[in-house]
C-alpha cells in the first residue's frame, strides 16, 4: 500500500513510522525545513519526504499522490487538512482520504465531502461517557469503508504483559496504530518511547479483522 501523509508533526511522524515498519510505502509532505531534516534522520526505510505545502498540487504531484492508495492529512490545521484532502481526491483521484480533525465541529463538513474524519476529542469524549470492562475491547467508531475501526482496550491491573514496555517494542498486528492513552483522567499522546502502565486505557486505530489480535497483544487474552 502506498500512503502519502501531509504533515510532519508528532501524529504524522508516528503514523509514517508505523506504516513503514509494517512494510508499506510512505511519502510525507512537510513545510518546515527543520522538521524535514528531523524526519529524514529519524524515520526508517528512507521514505520520500517533500519539503513544501501539501495544499499545493505541485508538491502533491512530487509526492506521487496520483498513485497513492490513501492520502492522510495530519497537520494541526483543519483548513489545510480539508484543502489537501480535497485536492488529492479531485485533482489526483485518490480513492481514500483520511484526515485528522482538531475541532470536532468540523467533522460533519469533512464527512459530507467524503473525507474520513478522525477527531481525538470526539473519541475520548465517547470513551469517557461509557463504562469499560477490564481487558475488554470496544469499538468506538467504524470508519466509512467498514474495514477500519477505532477501538478502546483497557490494560489489566494484574499480570499485565505489556506494562513497563515502550510502544515501539510491542509486537502489534499489521495496520494497528496506538493513538492515545487515558491514564488517571489524563490524555497522553502515544509516541514510540511511551511506556504502558497497568490500567491504561489504550485508544487504537486498527483493521477490524485484527481487533482480536490487538487485544491479545496488549492483554495476553
- For residue 147, the model assigns a pLDDT of 67
- Sign of the torsion formed by the C-alpha atoms of 200, 203, 208 and 209: negative
**What's the grid cell of residue 124?**
475520548
SS3 state of residue 79 = helix
**What's the grid cell of residue 166?**
515502550
**In residues, how long is the chain?**
221
Per-residue pLDDT of the chain (221 residues; tens, 9 = 90+): 899 999 998 888 888 888 888 888 999 999 999 999 999 999 998 899 999 999 999 999 999 999 999 999 999 899 999 999 999 999 999 999 999 888 888 888 998 888 988 876 555 445 444 443 333 445 555 554 456 777 888 888 888 899 999 988 888 888 788 888 888 877 788 888 889 999 888 888 888 788 888 888 998 87
- What residues does each domain of the chain span? 2-118, 123-219
What is 2-118's CATH superfamily?
NAD(P)-binding Rossmann-like Domain (3.40.50.720)
Q: Indicate the pTM of the whole model.
A: 0.59
Give CA–CA dist 104/59, Å, rounded: 28
CATH T-level assignment (fold) for domain 123-219: Alpha-Beta Plaits (3.30.70)
How is the chain split among helix, strand and coil, in percent rounded to 5?
35, 25, 35
Give CA–CA dist 208/211, Å, rounded: 5
Helix axes 33-42, 10-21, angle to 10 degrees: 30
Amino acid at each position: 500500500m502506498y500512503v502519502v501523509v501531509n504533515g510532519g508533526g508528532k501524529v504524522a511522524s508516528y503514523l509514517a513510522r508505523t506504516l513503514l515498519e509494517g512494510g508499506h510505502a510512505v511519502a510525507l509532505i512537510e513545510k518546515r525545513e527543520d522538521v524535514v531534516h528531523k524526519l529524514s534522520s529519524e524515520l526508517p526505510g528512507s521514505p520520500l519526504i517533500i519539503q513544501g505545502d501539501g495544499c499545493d498540487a505541485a508538491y502533491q504531484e512530487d509526492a506521487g499522490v496520483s498513485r497513492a492508495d490513501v492520502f492522510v492529512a495530519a497537520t494541526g490545521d483543519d483548513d489545510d487538512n480539508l484543502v489537501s484532502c480535497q485536492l488529492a481526491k479531485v485533482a489526483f483521484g485518490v480513492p481514500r482520504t483520511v484526515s485528522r480533525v482538531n475541532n470536532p465541529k468540523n467533522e460533519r463538513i469533512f464527512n459530507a465531502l467524503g473525507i474520513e474524519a478522525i477527531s481525538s476529542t470526539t473519541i475520548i469524549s465517547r470513551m469517557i461517557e461509557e463504562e469499560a470492562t477490564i481487558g475488554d475491547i470496544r469499538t468506538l467508531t467504524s470508519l466509512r469503508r467498514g474495514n477500519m475501526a477505532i477501538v478502546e482496550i483497557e490494560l489489566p491491573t494484574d499480570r499485565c504483559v505489556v506494562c513497563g514496555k515502550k510502544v515501539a517494542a510491542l509486537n502489534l498486528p499489521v495496520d494497528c496504530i496506538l493513538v492515545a492513552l487515558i491514564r488517571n483522567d489524563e490524555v497522553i499522546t502515544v509516541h514510540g518511547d511511551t511506556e504502558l502502565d497497568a490500567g491504561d486505557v489504550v485508544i487504537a486505530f486498527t483493521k477490524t479483522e485484527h481487533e482480536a489480535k490487538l487485544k491479545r497483544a496488549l492483554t495476553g487474552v
